[in-house]
Every structure is written in structure tokens, then in C-alpha cells.
């Protein structure tokens, strides 16, 4: 469970960096919108994991 949380956190951190990067890039708008959508999906997945509705054990 800890490993999954770390992976999700790392993914979230990369998405946050992606938003920051997209704001300084010339084609930032599309990347920013994509990053926000992706963060929304990641947060939903994390919530499901925390609620125990998703079992990601191998």
C-alpha cells in the first residue's frame, strides 16, 4: 500500500511540474488543460484507494 501511495504521489508531483512547465512554454494552454484533467483522475484514483474500493495488490 505504501508503494502504491508513493507511486501516485510521484505521478502527482510530475503532473504539478507539468503544469508549471506548461505555463512557461509557448504551447502551454493545451498542456495545462491536459495536466489539470490528469490530476483530477489521479486524485479520484487516490480517493478510491484510500476508501478501499480499489485493491491494487498483485
Per-residue pLDDT of the chain (58 residues; tens, 9 = 90+): 677 777 777 777 777 776 666 555 555 556 566 666 666 777 777 777 777 765 665 4
What are the start-end ranges of the E strands in 1-58? Answer: none
Calpha distance 18→36 (Å, rounded) = 9
| pLDDT of res. 26 | 53
| pLDDT of res. 31 | 59
| pLDDT of res. 42 | 72
Is this prediction's pTM over 0.75? no
**Nearest CA-CA partner of 7 in 47, 58, 46:** 46
| pLDDT of res. 27 | 56
Amino acid at each position: 500500500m505504501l508503494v502504491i501511495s508513493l507511486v501516485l504521489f510521484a505521478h502527482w508531483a510530475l503532473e504539478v511540474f507539468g503544469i508549471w512547465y506548461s505555463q512557461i512554454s509557448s504551447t502551454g494552454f493545451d498542456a495545462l488543460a491536459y495536466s489539470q484533467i490528469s490530476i483530477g483522475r489521479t486524485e479520484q484514483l487516490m480517493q478510491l484507494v484510500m476508501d478501499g474500493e480499489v485493491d491494487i495488490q498483485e
